[in-house]
């Protein structure tokens, strides 16, 4: 049900505008210009990269079900929700996800935490050798230095960490069930964790739904840890470099550095030996992420207003329509107006 | 000092286990040695003690990166800090650091691909080594079930004036032994071959006219007898299928295969080892590195593809020395599936043509793998042989390999179809003689299963569901 809600909610936002594959790329967190722009244009930040391992088959199966059960119907170039689909959305609560900011890094946070918890659990009984739950060498090294730095042998660390976890997870704004799931994925001495399948059978919920709740819970928990950092020093340390503060792709980042030094698009394109349109993609990406981006340098205020009016009038954000209606504006200008126009005019 | 005293001094054990002393004596005399010892019989002591006695570094060549790391970790846990693994996991800086201080280590584990790097080779040649150990030596033979082309290069690295070589393995047929001697350039090696027989394991066998009847028997058997046990299947799908059926019957079971999440696989292992899970339904991905002494039953849902695999999987039962039962299930036509899978692992002729074409068009053949045209394992093998011989010759090599695999399948099949003693045939397969038949030896000699398998006691484990707060406290603080 949760996966269905997610897919339908994205479909509702993108209906008549995009192809049926767009939600798939969004959930997988595809780093293409189109997907990243859609995040900005349609405000899809919560859902970006929530299910990086989602298989195309699984997604197609869900779409098939939605069509067969008349939640959506596919049109020639796009698709549309039916009344039944809209009703379904109204009857369900959205999950508090934050995909854009965490970008899958929530899993790094959890691997650190779970290995620390497993180590402390064994250290309590002076068992110094066990099969580590995390095999990734970089996670193991991180945890090793964390434990040594924080004098794990004293036993105090386990108590303090327990207090921090109890408090912060307690305050995280998400259901108790989601918290149960996260804690069931931890493992300790004589207390093995539970597999997705086992949790799914116990809660009588599909595995994919269990995993989405788990991700949502990690996001909310991380929010609490990062906001109340003074209160949770150990967890805050584990959450280092987890949130993406300037969430740009690597290449866009290099473009932005040059842009901020005052180079023009043409100059950057020459320096970086990249096509002009690629540089424009990067600047759109920056505009999505940085509220202080000087959009007026590229498009006049009146033009922005015109674009917004056209969106109202045609009830569409399709670039092709808008370009036909406002032929004097380039695709680049249109995209900037769509991404940031409202903030400039209001 | 006597060897026993040295053993006591360095390891605190009063006496050797079978074979260890013989092997160590020969090595100390400077003789090349092959030791075939079953898993869990203290293979590593055969090179550890000489390392302390000779007080020079020992080089251990090991095929599996994860296994290598395990061995180093284990040594460190037992207080031996002078152990290191030289493999591709190290970054350049770490590698350089290890290389510079190589003489300070007592145990140097290395992967074969690392061994042939000129820089590494030169550095190793400067060291005065006590021993060169080749672990899992059967990997050197293409007739072995676990052939690693990289292993063939080990022979090239061994210089004329070298310390004794110790080749270790759990099982090897005479053919594989021949390859070990030849490729490792061993000089009249001493061979210690421990019997592959495990007297406390009873070999059962059940033949069914159809797959459905087999499944029915399996479900019934597992519902009425006590575990812990492992059910081996040939496919992920079948693994999930049987596990769900068992779960529906209220049994404590889980499937295990390479398609599962890494954390999930760890949880299942841990649950099984700690007794929270009675049955594991697994592909052959399960077993390596799982140490559980009290496995009472091993059931093969279908025939294994060769006798060596079968012995290795069956060998996971009864490590505690107490009685255990292995039952092989067979229904007509099972060999067809096994034959089909056997062919799938090896590169086919179309892939060989493609490889050739890539080379002609100046594209790195690795791209075949990236384009999803060949699996990683197949590519590794293909790449090795295509680097050595022209295409037509490689084709005939692979044809021969496929034939060999089919022959191994037939060997297994003929043991299944035969009416003779199973134990005797298994032992003969490895060129050994069976010293003594235990009572309740095998299906044909007669087993009274009731003697060995306890009826399943309905464990009415009340499923305590804790709140997350309580679970967290139990894990971290251990109190209720």
Q: Could you give the residue ranges of the DSSP H alpha helices within B184-333?
A: 211-224, 236-248, 262-273, 307-314
Closest CB to B471 among A176, A183, A202: A183
Percent of chain A's residues with pLDDT above 90? 36
Q: Chain B interface, mutation test: which of A113, A193, A207, most B Cβ atoms within 10 Å?
A: A193
- Among B167, B193, B219, which residue terminates a domain? B193
- Residue B169 and residue B98 share a domain: yes
Least confident stretch, A155-169, B38-52, B219-233, B423-437: B38-52
Answer whether B49's CB lies under 8 Å from B65's CB.
Answer: no
Beta bridge partners of B133: B60, B166
Give the model confidence (pLDDT) of A291-340 as tens digits.
677 888 888 888 888 888 888 888 778 888 888 888 888 888 888 888 77
In this structure, is residue B330 part of a structural domain?
yes
- Residue B443 and residue B327 share a domain: yes
A195 or B381, which is more confident: A195
Give the model confidence (pLDDT) of B169-196 as tens digits.
887 788 888 888 988 888 899 999 888 8
Q: Is the dihedral of CA B53, B58, B61, B65 positive or negative?
A: positive
- Among A94, A129, A162, which residue terminates a domain? A94
Distance CA B196, CA B423 (A): 10
**Could you tell me which residues of chain B have a Cβ less than 8 Å from any Cβ in chain A?**
66, 73-74, 77, 89, 247, 254, 260-264, 266-271, 274, 276, 465, 467-469, 471-478
Give the model confidence (pLDDT) of B211-232 as tens digits.
999 999 999 999 999 889 999 9
| Predicted local confidence at residue A245, as pLDDT | 65
- Residue B308 and residue B340 share a domain: yes
Distance CA A177, CA B350 (A): 52
Contact A166 B472 (CB under 8 A): yes
Chain A residue numbers with beta carbons less than 8 Å from the beta carbon of B279 are none
- Residue B213 and residue B181 share a domain: no
- Residue A135 and residue A48 share a domain: no
- Residue A67 and residue A8 share a domain: yes
In this structure, is residue A207 part of a structural domain?
yes
| Predicted local confidence at residue A339, as pLDDT | 78
In this structure, is residue A99 part of a structural domain?
no
- Residue A255 and residue A182 share a domain: no
Distance from CA of B330 to the nearest CA of A (A): 29
Q: Report DSSP state, residue B373.
A: S
Distance CA B238, CA A282 (A): 48
Contact A162 B476 (CB under 8 A): yes
- Among B142, B167, B193, which residue terminates a domain? B193
Distance from CA of A37 to the nearest CA of B (A): 28
Distance CA A254, CA A248 (A): 10
Closest CB to B475 among A131, A188, A194: A188
Taking Cα atoms as reference points, which of A167, A164, A163, A152 lies closest to residue A122? A152
Contact B274 A169 (CB under 8 A): no
Give the model confidence (pLDDT) of B33-79 as tens digits.
999 987 767 888 999 999 999 999 999 998 776 678 778 877 876 77
Taking Cα atoms as reference points, which of B205, B195, B49 lies closest to residue B130? B49
Residue B449 CB partners (closer than 8 Å, separation 6+): B204, B225, B325
Residue recorded with tokens 């920056």: A286
Contact B476 A121 (CB under 8 A): yes
Distance CA B120, CA B130 (A): 18
Contact B274 A190 (CB under 8 A): yes
Taking one residue from A and the other from B, the number of pairs with CB-CB distance under 8 angstroms is 89
- Residue A133 and residue A215 share a domain: yes
| Predicted local confidence at residue B58, as pLDDT | 94
| Cα angle A283-A287-A293, degrees, rounded to a multiple of 5 | 100
- Residue A39 and residue A122 share a domain: no
State the average pLDDT over residues B419-441.
90
Domain span at residue B99?
3-193
Answer whether B338's CB lies under 8 Å from B232's CB.
Answer: no
Give the model confidence (pLDDT) of B362-406 as tens digits.
888 888 887 778 877 788 888 878 887 888 888 888 888 888 889
pLDDT tops 80 at residue A341? no
pLDDT tops 90 at residue A166? yes
Closest CB to A183 among B89, B254, B468: B468
Chain A residue numbers with beta carbons less than 8 Å from the beta carbon of B472 are 162, 165-166, 183, 186
Distance from CA of B474 to the nearest CA of A (A): 8
Chain A residue numbers with beta carbons less than 8 Å from the beta carbon of B260 are 195
Give the model confidence (pLDDT) of A26-73 as tens digits.
999 887 777 888 887 788 888 998 998 888 888 999 999 999 999 998
Tokens representing residue B461 in the block: 């484990």
Chain A residue numbers with beta carbons less than 8 Å from the beta carbon of B261 are 195-196
The CATH number assigned to the domain holding B134 equals 3.40.50.300
Residue B267 CB partners (closer than 8 Å, separation 6+): A187, A192, A193, A194, A195
- Under the banding of pLDDT at 50, 70 and 90, the label for residue B131 is very high
In this structure, is residue A314 part of a structural domain?
yes
Residue B237 CB partners (closer than 8 Å, separation 6+): none
| Cα angle A131-A132-A137, degrees, rounded to a multiple of 5 | 130
Beta strands in chain A (DSSP E): 72-74, 79-81
| Predicted local confidence at residue A344, as pLDDT | 58
Peptide bond into A303 cis (omega under 30): no
The CATH number assigned to the domain holding A24 equals 1.10.10.10
Percent of chain B's residues with pLDDT above 70? 94
Closest CB to A121 among B264, B276, B475: B475
| Predicted local confidence at residue B246, as pLDDT | 94
Chain B residue numbers with beta carbons less than 8 Å from the beta carbon of A179 are 468
Domain count, chain B: 2
Q: How far apart are the first and last CA of chain B?
A: 54
In this structure, is residue A299 part of a structural domain?
yes
CB-based burial label for B56 (10 Å; 0-12, 13-18, 19+): middle
| Predicted local confidence at residue A346, as pLDDT | 53
Chain A residue numbers with beta carbons less than 8 Å from the beta carbon of B465 are 202
| Predicted local confidence at residue A136, as pLDDT | 79
**Closest residue in B to A196 (Cα–Cα):** B264
Give the model confidence (pLDDT) of A103-152 as tens digits.
888 999 999 999 999 999 998 888 777 888 887 778 888 998 999 899 88
In this structure, is residue A61 part of a structural domain?
yes
Can you tell me the ipTM of this complex? 0.78
| Cα angle B433-B438-B440, degrees, rounded to a multiple of 5 | 125
State the average pLDDT over residues B72-95.
79
Q: What one-character-per-residue DSSP string does B175-226 give?
A: HHHHHHHHHTT-SS-EEEE-----TTEEEEEEEESSHHHHHHHHHHHHHHB-
Taking Cα atoms as reference points, which of B153, B142, B76 lies closest to residue B109? B76
Domain count, chain A: 3
pLDDT tops 90 at residue B410? yes
Taking Cα atoms as reference points, which of B22, B275, B62 lies closest to residue B150? B62
Contact B73 A117 (CB under 8 A): no
Percent of chain B's residues with pLDDT above 90? 37
Answer whether B276's CB lies under 8 Å from A230's CB.
Answer: no
- Residue B314 and residue B183 share a domain: no
| Predicted local confidence at residue B459, as pLDDT | 62
Chain A residue numbers with beta carbons less than 8 Å from the beta carbon of B476 are 117, 120-121, 124, 158-159, 161-162, 165, 188
Up-side HSE of residue A164: CA atoms within 13 Å toward CB?
24
Residue B160 CB partners (closer than 8 Å, separation 6+): none
pLDDT tops 80 at residue A196? yes
Q: Is the dihedral of CA B109, B112, B113, B117 positive or negative?
A: positive
Q: Are strands A72-74 and A79-81 parallel, antiparallel or unpaired?
A: antiparallel
Contact B477 A162 (CB under 8 A): yes
Distance CA A295, CA A344 (A): 8
Which helix (H) or strand (E) segment holds residue A31: the answer is none
Contact B477 A125 (CB under 8 A): no
Closest CB to A187 among B247, B267, B469: B267
- Under the banding of pLDDT at 50, 70 and 90, the label for residue A246 is low
- Residue A186 and residue A135 share a domain: yes
Contact B468 A120 (CB under 8 A): no
Closest CB to B472 among A125, A165, A201: A165
Distance CA B405, CA B346 (A): 10
- Residue A50 and residue A139 share a domain: no
- Among A238, A272, A293, which residue terminates a domain? A238
- Under the banding of pLDDT at 50, 70 and 90, the label for residue B11 is confident
Residue A242 CB partners (closer than 8 Å, separation 6+): A102, A105, A106, A108, A109, A222
- Under the banding of pLDDT at 50, 70 and 90, the label for residue B342 is confident
Closest CB to A158 among B261, B262, B477: B477
Tokens representing residue A328 in the block: 């004097």
Four-CA torsion B372, B378, B381, B384, nearest 10 degrees: -20
Contact B269 A158 (CB under 8 A): no
- Residue B215 and residue B175 share a domain: no
- Residue B223 and residue B183 share a domain: no
Residue A42 CB partners (closer than 8 Å, separation 6+): A13, A14, A17, A317
In this structure, is residue A51 part of a structural domain?
yes
Contact B468 A161 (CB under 8 A): no
Residue B2 CB partners (closer than 8 Å, separation 6+): none
Distance CA B396, CA B270 (A): 45
In this structure, is residue A245 part of a structural domain?
no
- Residue B207 and residue B106 share a domain: no
pLDDT tops 70 at residue A25? yes
- Residue A147 and residue A213 share a domain: yes
- Residue B130 and residue B13 share a domain: yes
- Residue A210 and residue A142 share a domain: yes
Distance from CA of B319 to the nearest CA of A (A): 20
- Residue A141 and residue A90 share a domain: no
Distance CA B22, CA B44 (A): 14
- Residue B351 and residue B377 share a domain: yes
Tokens representing residue A266 in the block: 């043409």
| Predicted local confidence at residue B401, as pLDDT | 81
- Under the banding of pLDDT at 50, 70 and 90, the label for residue A256 is confident
The pLDDT mean for chain B works out to 86
Q: Chain B interface, mutation test: which of A123, A138, A156, A191, most B Cβ atoms within 10 Å?
A: A191
Tokens representing residue B78 in the block: 């037992």
- Residue A113 and residue A158 share a domain: yes
Tokens representing residue B119 in the block: 């820089």
Distance CA A193, CA A191 (A): 7
In this structure, is residue A288 part of a structural domain?
yes
pLDDT tops 90 at residue B153? no
Distance from CA of B71 to the nearest CA of A (A): 12
Domain span at residue A75?
2-94
- The strand order across the sheet containing B324-331 reads B201-208, B324-331, B297-300, B229-232, B279-282, B253-256
Closest CB to B276 among A137, A186, A192: A192
- Among A186, A213, A238, which residue terminates a domain? A238
- Residue B204 and residue B97 share a domain: no
Contact B476 A183 (CB under 8 A): no
- Under the banding of pLDDT at 50, 70 and 90, the label for residue B296 is very high
In this structure, is residue B233 part of a structural domain?
no
Contact A117 B468 (CB under 8 A): no
| Predicted local confidence at residue A343, as pLDDT | 63
- Residue A302 and residue A204 share a domain: no
- Among B178, B193, B208, which residue terminates a domain? B193
Residue B426 CB partners (closer than 8 Å, separation 6+): B196, B197, B203, B307, B310, B311, B415
Distance CA B385, CA B459 (A): 55
How many Cβ atoms sit within 10 Å of the Cβ of residue B16? 18
CA distances from B26 to A85, A263, B50, B54 (A): 78, 75, 10, 13
- Residue B205 and residue B187 share a domain: no
How many Cβ atoms sit within 10 Å of the Cβ of residue B268? 26
């Amino acid at each position: 049900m949760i996966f269905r809600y997610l897919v339908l909610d994205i479909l509702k936002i993108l209906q008549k505008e995009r192809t049926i594959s767009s939600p798939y790329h969004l959930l997988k967190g595809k780093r293409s210009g189109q997907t990243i722009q859609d995040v900005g244009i349609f405000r899809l930040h919560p859902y970006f990269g929530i299910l990086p391992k989602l298989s195309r088959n699984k997604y197609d199966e869900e779409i098939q079900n939605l069509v067969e059960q008349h939640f959506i119907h596919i049109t020639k170039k796009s698709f549309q929700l039916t009344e039944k689909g809209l009703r379904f959305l109204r009857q369900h609560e959205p999950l508090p996800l934050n995909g854009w900011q965490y970008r899958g890094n929530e899993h790094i946070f959890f691997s650190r935490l779970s290995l620390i918890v497993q180590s402390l659990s064994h250290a309590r009984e002076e068992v110094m050798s066990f099969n580590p739950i995390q095999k990734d060498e970089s996670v193991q090294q991180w945890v090793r230095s964390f434990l040594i730095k924080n004098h794990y042998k004293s036993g105090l660390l386990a108590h303090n960490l327990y207090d921090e976890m109890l408090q912060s997870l307690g305050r995280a704004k998400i259901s108790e069930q989601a918290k149960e799931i996260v804690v069931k994925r931890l493992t300790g001495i004589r207390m093995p964790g539970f597999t997705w399948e086992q949790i799914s059978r116990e809660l009588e919920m599909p595995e994919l739904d269990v995993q989405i709740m788990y991700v949502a819970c990690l996001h909310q928990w991380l929010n609490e840890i990062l906001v109340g950092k003074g209160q949770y020093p150990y967890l805050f340390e584990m959450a280092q470099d987890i949130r993406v503060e300037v969430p740009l792709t690597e290449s866009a980042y290099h473009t932005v550095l040059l842009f901020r030094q005052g180079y023009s698009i043409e100059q950057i394109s020459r320096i970086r030996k990249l096509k002009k349109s690629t540089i424009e993609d990067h600047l759109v990406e920056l505009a999505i992420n940085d509220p202080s981006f000087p959009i007026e340098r590229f498009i006049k205020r009146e033009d922005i207003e015109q674009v917004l009016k056209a969106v109202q009038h045609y009830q569409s954000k399709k670039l092709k329509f808008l370009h036909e209606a406002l032929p004097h504006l380039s695709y680049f200008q249109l995209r900037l107006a769509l991404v940031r126009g409202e903030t400039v005019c209001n | 000092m006597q060897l026993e005293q040295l053993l006591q001094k360095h390891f605190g054990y009063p006496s050797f286990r079978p074979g260890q002393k013989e092997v160590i004596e020969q090595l100390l005399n400077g003789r090349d040695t092959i030791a075939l010892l079953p898993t869990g019989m203290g293979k590593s002591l055969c090179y550890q003690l000489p390392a302390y006695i000779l007080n020079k570094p020992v080089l251990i060549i090991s095929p599996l990166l994860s296994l290598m790391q395990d061995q180093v970790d284990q040594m460190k846990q037992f207080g031996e800090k002078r152990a290191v693994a030289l493999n591709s996991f190290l970054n350049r800086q770490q590698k350089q650091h290890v290389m510079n201080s190589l003489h300070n280590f007592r145990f140097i584990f290395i992967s074969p691909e690392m061994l042939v790097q000129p820089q590494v080779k030169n550095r190793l040649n400067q060291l005065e080594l006590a021993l060169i150990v080749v672990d899992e030596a059967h990997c050197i033979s293409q007739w072995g079930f676990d052939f690693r082309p990289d292993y063939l290069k080990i022979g090239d690295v061994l210089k004329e004036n070298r310390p004794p070589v110790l080749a270790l393995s759990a099982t090897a047929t005479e053919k594989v032994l021949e390859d070990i001697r030849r490729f490792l350039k061993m000089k009249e090696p001493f061979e210690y071959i421990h019997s592959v027989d495990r007297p406390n394991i009873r070999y059962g066998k059940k033949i069914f006219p159809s797959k459905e009847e087999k499944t029915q028997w399996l479900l019934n058997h597992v519902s009425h007898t006590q575990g812990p046990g492992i059910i081996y299947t040939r496919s992920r799908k079948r693994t999930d299928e049987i596990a769900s059926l068992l779960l529906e019957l209220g049994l404590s079971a889980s499937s295990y295969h390479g398609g599962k999440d890494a954390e999930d696989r760890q949880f299942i292992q841990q649950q099984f080892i700690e007794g929270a899970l009675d049955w594991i339904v697994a592909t052959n991905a399960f077993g390596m590195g799982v140490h559980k002494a009290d496995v009472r039953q091993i059931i093969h849902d279908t025939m294994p593809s060769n006798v060596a695999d079968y012995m290795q999987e069956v060998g996971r039962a009864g490590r505690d020395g107490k009685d255990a039962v292995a039952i092989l299930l067979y229904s007509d036509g099972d060999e067809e599936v096994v034959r089909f899978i056997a062919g799938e692992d090896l590169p086919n002729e179309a892939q060989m043509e493609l490889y050739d074409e890539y080379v002609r068009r100046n594209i790195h053949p690795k791209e075949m793998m990236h384009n999803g045209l060949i699996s990683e394992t197949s590519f590794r093998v293909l790449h090795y042989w295509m680097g050595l011989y022209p295409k037509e010759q490689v084709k005939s090599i692979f044809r021969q390999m496929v034939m060999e695999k089919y022959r191994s399948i037939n060997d297994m099949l003929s043991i299944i179809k035969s009416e003779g003693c199973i134990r005797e045939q298994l032992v003969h397969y490895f060129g050994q003689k069976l010293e003594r038949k235990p009572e309740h030896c095998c299906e044909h000699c007669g087993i009274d299963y009731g003697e060995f398998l306890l009826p399943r006691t309905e464990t009415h484990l009340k499923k305590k569901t804790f709140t997350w707060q309580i679970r967290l406290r139990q894990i971290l603080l251990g109190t209720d």
